[in-house]
């Protein structure tokens, strides 16, 4: 499991996106599909037959006509003893996260494979593991009300199992008896009989109240909010909040299972991007809810190499935002045509758009360029922070089509290997187009460098036409797909990360030719990593001009403006930068700023 552990350090803020997007379930509350009650495959019986136990705890087949068992009818010692495989896969994922500091999106696929889960069970295990991790803030508050000692004093596997149980009981369409019986069986099987009795007692207390009643107990809204809104707890919640003074951030933090500091950062970012005060809270709640929902799998066909036709035939639908993209709701996207070959890739649409936008901006005049930015030699592109290679693969395919070359740089060796694997699908020789002419003299479409982006080689100075800085960041824009990351990230991470971002930006500016274009991207909307970073970069580099990023992204994705209108705020950028949002665009909260370098040399300090 070592390879699945997180590497630590600021560079590993995001990791692989693909695995986290793979399994989609329909098991969340309100969902219309999926039914993992205790008497189906998740009743501890892989054949799907229903089962019950006699007074000695032995299983007897009772055929298909038996009604649902009630958990209250049997003592724990008389219920099933084996963990069902889907719940076991989810439990093993949670214990790897809590015990080994692992990434859920890297662990879970291995557990799904090890337990040979079919597509349906894999979807169930994914929703269970990811949902329990995302919802930890709320579930811990509820569990704390049911346990007579601090949760920190519980054995970690017991707490993991309680969280799995709480998620099933409070947020999934699993019947209470099935959630309780199966979780207790899991604990008995994996931890022991004593803890199973404890888990049984605690989860019974959880079942005594429904979700809304628990919310009102552990995170009550102020009387003003209740009186003003009425309706469901969610309606009242939307109408409450710091705008009215009714719900402090601590209450939102429990209700929406986000740390308080992240809630504050997200609110500040929305405000910085021009959200009017009277809509700010409602939009913040919509964003927090989007962070807690399972994302749809986003796919991209590498330009000139991938074919979305068979993917669409296999059930995907055309992506509304990005060219050559698709959305897939059907489970394991790894089995779709082209995905194994790497010509169709699983990639968030926000990431796709940033790569496209960078390549659309006209270059300015400068060395090797005429006044209109037309080159006399092939363009050179640099992806300064390339691992694991998602954007590099798309950029390399675009470079190949345009006779350009891409250098993909990454300092972490294991991530360099991921970059190389991502680039394998892109032939190194440039696209010969319709002419079929040999391109033997043309540069290789891509190459890879393993090294620190702050320490580029002297020959790289002022040598690139386009540089992407997809910077290491807190990843607060990808909370949907990195379910444990919100609990791991700390405000203290910001200092080292913003310093690294600053240095990488400086290095990128040095690497740019006069007239060259820089794309600064983060998968975080945190102001310190985004707009403040841009403002500081402009002060340090008078030779850099901030472009209208929104207009270039709109060129690539005309649907963005319409989607942004839902916020009641025209556009989706501020002061030349662009911020995408999960609740508006169904993308990660990607930030992008595009700059062009003038011919003026940077003044030395």
Ligand X SMILES: C[S@@+](CC[C@H](N)C(=O)[O-])C[C@H]1O[C@@H](n2cnc3c(N)ncnc32)[C@H](O)[C@@H]1O
Catalytic residues: 523
Helices (H) and strands (E) in the chain, counts: 24, 15
Binding of residue 270 to ligand X (CB under 6 A): no
Question: Tokens 């799998």 map to which residue?
Answer: 297
165 forms part of the interface with ligand X (CB under 6 A): no
Is 85 an interacting residue with respect to ligand X (CB under 6 A)? no
Which of these ranges, 40-48, 144-152, 292-300, 378-386, lies near ligand X under the rule CB under 6 A?
Answer: 378-386
Paired residues of 408 in beta bridges: 383, 448
HEC profile of 447-499: EEEECCCCCCCHHHCCCEEEEEEECCCCCHHHCCCCCCHHHHCCHHHHHHHHH
Q: Which of 51, 92, 431, 470 binds ligand X (CB under 6 A)?
A: 470
Listed residue (318, 237, 319, 238) closest to 279, CA to CA: 238
Q: Report, in Å, the least distance between residue 146 CB and ligand X.
A: 39
Q: Which of 327, 412, 442, 538 binds ligand X (CB under 6 A)?
A: 412
The reply on whether position 147 binds ligand X by CB under 6 A is no
442 binds ligand X (CB under 6 A): no
Place of tokens 């060219």: 323
Environment class of residue 309 by beta-carbon count within 10 Å: exposed (0-12), middle (13-18) or buried (19+)? exposed
Instruction: Pull the structure tokens for residue 460.
Output: 């790289």
> Does 11 help bind ligand X (rule: CB under 6 A)?
yes
Shortest Cβ distance from residue 389 to ligand X (Å)?
5
Per CB under 6 A, 472 contacts ligand X: yes
| 260 contributes a contact to ligand X by CB under 6 A | no
Backbone angles phi, psi at 405, to 5 degrees: -130, 145
Segment near ligand X (CB under 6 A); pick from 125-133, 199-207, 316-324, 386-394? 386-394
Region of 126-134, 295-303, 362-370, 450-458 interacting with ligand X (CB under 6 A): 450-458
* DSSP reduced 3-state for 185: helix
* 443 vs 475 by CB, closer to ligand X: 475
- Residues 502-561 touching ligand X, rule: CB under 6 A, are 504, 523
CB of 390 to ligand X, least distance (A): 3
Rounded to a whole number of angstroms, the minimum distance from the CB of residue 578 to ligand X is 17
- Whether the CB-CB separation of 238 and 282 falls below 8 Å is answered with yes
Closest to 284 (Cα-Cα) out of 294, 295, 298, 273: 273
By CB under 6 A, which span of 7-15, 44-52, 294-302, 337-345 interacts with ligand X? Answer: 7-15
Burial of residue 54 (CB within 10 Å: 0-12, 13-18, 19+) is: exposed
SS (H, E, C) 207-268: HCCCHHHHHHHHCCCCHHHHHHHCCCHHHHHHHCCCCCCCCCHHHHHHHCCCCHHHHHHHHH
DSSP per residue, 25-67:
-S-BTT-SS----TTTGGGS-TT---EEE-TTS-EEE-TTT--
Residue 4 binds ligand X, judged by CB under 6 A:
no
CB closer to ligand X, 356 vs 391? 391
CB-wise, 11 or 38, nearer to ligand X?
A: 11
Single out the residue of 141, 385, 445, 467 in contact with ligand X (rule: CB under 6 A): 385
Q: Could you tell me the smallest distance in angstroms from the CB atom of residue 63 to ligand X?
A: 52
Alpha-carbon gap, residue 85 to 48, rounded angstroms: 12
As measured in angstroms, the least distance from the Cβ of 425 to ligand X is: 14
Question: Residue count at the site for ligand X (CB under 6 A)?
Answer: 23
Q: How many CB atoms lie within 10 A of CB 313?
A: 10
Q: What minimum distance in Å lies between the beta carbon of 334 and ligand X? A: 17
Under the binding rule (CB under 6 A), the answer on residue 306 touching ligand X is: no
**Strand ranges (E), 65-117:** none
In the complex with ligand X, which residue's Cβ is closer, 5 or 454?
A: 454
Q: Does residue number 175 form part of the binding site for ligand X (CB under 6 A)? A: no
- Using CB under 6 A as the criterion, what x/- string covers residues 309-348 for binding ligand X? ----------------------------------------
* Helices assigned H by DSSP within 135-207: 136-146, 156-171, 176-190, 193-207
> Which is closer to ligand X, CB of 199 or CB of 419?
419
Rank residues 387 and 430 by Cβ distance to ligand X and give the closer one: 387
454 binds ligand X (CB under 6 A): yes
List, in sequence order, the alpha helices (H) in 256-389. 260-272, 277-291, 309-313, 349-360
Pick from 93, 171, 182, 351 the residue near ligand X by CB under 6 A.
351
Question: Segment contacting ligand X (CB under 6 A): 9-17, 84-92, 136-144, 195-203?
Answer: 9-17
Laid out side by side, the sheet with 317-318 consists of 317-318, 325-328, 297-301, 344-346
Q: What Cα–Cα distance (Å) separates residue 19 from each residue in 4, 108, 251?
A: 12, 8, 32
Binding site for ligand X (CB under 6 A): 11, 13-14, 351, 384-391, 410-412, 415, 452-454, 470, 472, 504, 523
């Amino acid at each position: 499991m070592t390879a699945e552990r997180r590497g630590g350090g600021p560079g590993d803020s995001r990791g692989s996106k693909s695995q986290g997007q793979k399994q989609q379930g329909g098991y969340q509350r309100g969902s219309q599909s999926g039914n993992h009650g205790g008497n189906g495959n998740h009743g501890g019986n892989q054949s799907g037959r229903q089962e019950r136990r006699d007074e000695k705890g032995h299983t007897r087949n009772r055929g298909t006509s038996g009604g649902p068992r009630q958990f209250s009818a049997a003592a724990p010692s008389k219920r099933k003893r084996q963990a069902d495989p889907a719940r076991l896969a989810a439990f093993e994922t949670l214990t790897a996260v809590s015990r080994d500091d692992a990434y859920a999106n890297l662990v879970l696929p291995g557990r799904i494979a090890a337990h040979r889960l079919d597509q349906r069970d894999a979807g169930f295990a994914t929703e269970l593991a990811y949902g329990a991790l995302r919802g930890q803030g709320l579930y811990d508050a509820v569990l704390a009300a049911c346990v007579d000692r601090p949760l920190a004093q519980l054995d970690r596997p017991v707490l993991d199992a309680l969280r799995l149980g709480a998620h099933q009981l409070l947020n999934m369409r699993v019947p209470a008896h099935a959630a309780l019986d199966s979780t207790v069986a899991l604990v008995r099987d994996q931890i022991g009989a004593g803890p199973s009795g404890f888990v049984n007692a605690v989860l019974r207390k959880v079942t005594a109240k429904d979700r809304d009643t628990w919310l009102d107990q552990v995170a009550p809204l102020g009387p003003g909010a209740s009186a003003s809104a009425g309706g469901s707890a969610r309606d009242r919640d939307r109408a409450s909040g710091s705008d009215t003074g009714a719900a402090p951030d601590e209450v939102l933090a429990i209700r929406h299972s986000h740390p308080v500091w992240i809630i504050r950062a997200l609110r500040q970012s929305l405000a910085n991007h021009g959200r009017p005060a009277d809509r700010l809270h409602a939009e913040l709640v919509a964003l927090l809810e989007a962070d807690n929902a399972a994302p749809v799998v986003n796919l991209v066909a590498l330009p000139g190499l991938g074919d979305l036709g068979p993917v669409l035939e296999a059930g995907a639908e055309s992506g509304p935002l990005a060219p050559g993209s698709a959305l897939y709701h059907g489970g394991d996207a790894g089995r779709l045509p082209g995905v194994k070959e790497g010509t169709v890739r699983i990639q968030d649409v926000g990431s796709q758009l940033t790569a496209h936008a960078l390549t659309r901006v006209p270059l300015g005049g400068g060395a090797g360029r005429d006044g209109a930015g037309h080159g006399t030699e092939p363009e050179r592109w640099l992806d300064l922070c390339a691992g694991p290679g998602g954007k590099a693969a798309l950029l390399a395919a675009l470079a190949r089509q345009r006779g350009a070359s891409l250098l993909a740089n990454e300092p972490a060796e294991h991530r360099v290997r991921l970059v190389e694997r991502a680039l394998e699908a892109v032939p190194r020789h440039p696209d010969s187009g319709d002419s079929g002419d040999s391109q033997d003299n043309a540069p290789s479409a891509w190459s890879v460098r393993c090294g620190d982006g702050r320490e580029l080689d002297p020959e790289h100075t002022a040598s690139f036409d386009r540089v992407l800085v997809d910077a290491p960041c807190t990843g607060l824009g990808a909370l949907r797909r990195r379910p444990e990351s919100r609990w791991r990230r700390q405000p203290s991470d910001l200092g080292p990360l913003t310093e690294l971002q600053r240095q990488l930006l400086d290095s990128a500016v040095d690497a740019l030719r006069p007239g060259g274009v820089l794309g600064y991207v983060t998968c975080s909307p945190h102001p310190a990593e985004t707009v403040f970073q841009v403002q500081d970069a402009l002060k340090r580099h008078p030779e850099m001009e901030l472009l209208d990023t929104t207009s270039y992204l709109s060129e690539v994705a005309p649907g963005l403006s319409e989607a942004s209108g839902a916020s009641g705020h025209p556009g989706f950028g501020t002061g030349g930068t662009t911020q995408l949002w999960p609740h508006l665009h169904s993308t990660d909260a990607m930030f992008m700023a595009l700059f062009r370098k003038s011919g003026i040399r940077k003044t030395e300090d």
